[in-house]
Structure formats: C-alpha cells, structure tokens
Amino acid sequence: MEKKGIKIAAVGDLHMRVTDKGMWAEHFKKVSNDAQVLLICGDLTDTGDEEEAEALAEELKSCSIPVIAVLGNHDFEKGRQKIIRQIFTDRNITILEGESVIVEGIGFAGVKGYGGGFDNHMLSMFGEDAMKAFVQEAVNESLQLDRALARLEQEDPEIPKIVLLHYSPIKDTVVGEPEQIYPFLGCSRLIEPLHRRKVHATFHGHAHAGRLEGVTSQGVKVFNVALPVLKAAEGAYPFYTLEV
C-alpha cells in the first residue's frame, strides 16, 4: 500500500495587529482540515509588540494542527522578541531559532535568516566594522541552520527535511522587489546548508512583492509564502500547501 503524503501549509508576514482580532480564526480552522502541519515564516506581529503576539496566539486557538514558526524582522522591532517567543511557546506553538523538530515523520529546521545579497553580489566581510557585523549575522544564521539540520540527520539520516526562514536564500523569489533592496531581503549564504543537508524544500517570507516559487542551483525548491504573494497567486485561500 502506497504511503500517504503529509500536507504542509505555509504562510508568512501575517503582520498581526491588535485591531485584526477575529480576522484569522476561520482561516486557521479551515487549514486544519486541509493540512497536517502549519508553518508561519516570520513577521507574526506588525510592530514587535507583545499585545499583537497575544492577539495572534488567541486566533491560533482555532488551529487544531501543529504550528511551527520562525520570527521575522518585525518581531524584533521593539526588542521584545524573547517575550513574543514565550507567548507563542506557552500556547504550544513551536518557534524555531536555530532548532529543529520532528512532526508527522518530517524534520523541520528554522532560523530567521538575514540579508547580505545574492550570488556574485553578496556583501563581503571587508571594510568597516559595521559592514563586517552585517555580513557576520548572515554567516551566523547559516551556521545555526546547518547545526539544526545536522541534528535531524543524527536522529534519522533518511528523514525528509523542511526549512523555515524569514529571509530568502535565493534571488529568484525576491524578483519583483526593487533591486536596490535585494541585499536586505536575503542572502545566498543560507543556501549552503540546504545543499549540504539535502533539504527537500524551503519556505520564507519577507519579500512582499516577490515570486512564489524558485529553485536553488542544486534543485532545492524554495517558496516565498509572504501573505501578499499568496494573495496574488492563490486568491482567497491565504496558505500554500505542499505534500511531502
């Protein structure tokens, strides 16, 4: 008998505001009937406020499937990211920051990621200390992701691996945004662990005007599931669904 696949639903950039209460509950209820796991790829809140996190956590009560998320740059805006993470963790929502988790026989690893540019136009570790620190942040995020994926391989070398990011690892899925801001939308340094650890697929957000689908040079599928991208591509249903 052929093994049935696991359906993963994904969305990013909900930018929850306190005034959005009631907006998401029905969507979360519906996606619980359509998929076995829900991924949220950063920018859970609009201004990094814990009241916004509480409002979204309340909406997620209607979601009856496991929820796995990473934080985005908006969640860091007020320096309350630890509080925001705890709010969701207290509601049994898994927030990955360099960690991994196995759900429904699939390994999920996640980091926020960072900027730095793509391919031959990546920023280099050269010049002022501030520039070096900017580049180092992307290096650190890539290393954290690699360690999280390595832990999954140690538990089960054959496990399918899915990566959650906020920033993009490739240029293809940010095309549509102004080229001048590409260095702030993602970084190709994030690709290396995807290839080394033979990741099945990667989801990210952040690039609201980007493209839904892309692929790395070694065939790893990448999906930009920022809410505005999904609304443009998927219509009324604000989730992308992938069967693994």
Q: What is the mean pLDDT of the chain?
A: 95
First to last CA, the chain: 17
Query: What is the DSSP secondary-structure string of 36-78?
Result: SEEEEES--BSSS-HHHHHHHHHHGGG--S-EEEE--GGGGTT
- The domains located in the chain, with CATH, are 7-243 (3.60.21.10)
- What pLDDT does residue 209 have? 97
Quote the pTM value: 0.96
| Helix, strand, coil share (%) of the chain residues, nearest 5 | 40, 25, 40
pLDDT digits 0-9 by tens, 129-173: 999 999 999 999 999 999 999 999 999 999 999 999 999 999 999
What pLDDT sits at residue 4?
A: 74
177 φ/ψ angles, rounded to the nearest 5 degrees = -80, 160
